[in-house]
Structure 1
Amino acid sequence: MDRQSFIKKSGAGISYACFSGLIFCKNQDDEDFSTDRNDPKVIQDADGQVLNVIGDIQTHKLLGSETNNQIFEWVDNVDPGVGIPPHVHTKEDEIFRVVEGEVEITIDGESTVLKAGDIAFAPKGFPHAWKVVGTEKAKMITSALPAGIELMFQELSELPAGPPDFEKVAKICAKQGITFV
């Protein structure tokens, strides 16, 4: 079959499937099928709520309340030497994208230095940690799927200034299903 015939036949089939799905799509209870709708959103670099989460300066950009709790995304602006110790998530996967600087990330015991443009994926259930290395601040965009962890960050940002009380931090994190290893 040539390309043009394939496109015509495929297009007709896809159109029929989509059209019939819109008209005849029902759930088990024979009610109309519907989904929660997400509204489009454009977030400028300067937009978002800035929180100091135990030295990790985070700008919360896209919240779970705006994405049907599918994703939470924030920007970390962190000084050299600052990082997060090894921990495990039970609820969310994380994606780390370095925009500026260098971040050493360790996932499941394997360490790598991420530079601008590099991405790392830390699935739930795998221990991971990160730390800004080198002499420059690092800017990193982090995503958590599904959302929910932003509530933990909000609570952590409300702790008193100064060295953190690790017992309190661990207790707050445990409510989100996060344990330190």
Structure 2
Amino acid sequence: MTEEIVLGPLPKGITLAGEGMGSRVWNVLGHRYAMKSAAESSFAFETFDPPGTGVPPHVHPTQDEHIYVLEGVFTLYLDGAWLTAGPGDTVRMPKNLPHAYYNRGEAPSRGLFWVSPAGRLAQLFDRLHDLTDMAEAVRVSAEHDVHFLPPGEVGDPPG
């Protein structure tokens, strides 16, 4: 990415549909993430998730995370249970809750995600942009306070 994101108070303004705040858009493990809002207190991004993509089980030890499902269906792992959420549903993931999300459908899905506080998630996405090596993604994520569970600790998602 071009310039490091430095978070402060929430700036006023509008992030247009289909765009990222400050034109910030990332390709993260096959997903398109567009930054919608960034401040010390919270960080929001819109995802575009092609069929067959997902983010494996992980934990945010210092952040609460939410998803508002815009389109499609997410298959979610939430602290030991597999659930689904569709358009209009809001998913709540308190800090330290093991969670994952997948698009197991045949159409793309979209969601508005946000975390509070922002932590270093925007900087993490800068580092993950266009990265294809999952082992490196796990290592870099841990440096930014996102910790992936060991492979095999959680069963495969249904569907």
TM-score, normalising length from structure 2? Answer: 0.81
1:154 correspondence with 2:113 = no
Q: Is the 8 A contact 1:91 1:176 kept in 2?
A: no
Map of 1:121 onto structure 2: 92
1:54 correspondence with 2:29 = yes
1:178 correspondence with 2:149 = no
Aligned residues: 138
1:29-178 map, 5 Å: 38-48=10-20, 49-64=24-39, 69-147=40-118, 148-159=120-131, 164-178=132-146
1:90 is displaced (CA, Å) by 1.1
CA RMSD, Structure 1 to Structure 2 (Å): 1.5
Q: Is the 8 A contact 2:10 2:38 kept in 1?
A: no
Greater CA radius of gyration, 1 or 2? 1
Q: Percent identity?
A: 28
1:40 is displaced (CA, Å) by 2.5
Q: Is the 8 A contact 2:52 2:103 kept in 1?
A: yes
Structure with more helix by fraction: 1
AA of the residue aligned to 2:123 = L
State the alpha-carbon separation in 2 of the partners of residues 78 and 90 from structure 1: 24
Map of 2:152 onto structure 1: none
Show structure 2 runs of 5+ residues with no match.
1-7, 150-159
| Partner SS, residue 154 of structure 1 | helix
Greater relative CO (CA pairs within 8 A, separation 6+): 2
1:158 is displaced (CA, Å) by 4.6
| Partner SS, residue 57 of structure 2 | strand
Per-residue CA deviations over 1:8-39 (Å, capped at 9, x if unaligned) read xxxxxxxxxxxxxxxxxxxxxxxxxxxx8644
Alignment CA distance shift 1:42-1:108 (3 Å): same
Alignment CA distance shift 1:38-1:134 (3 Å): closer
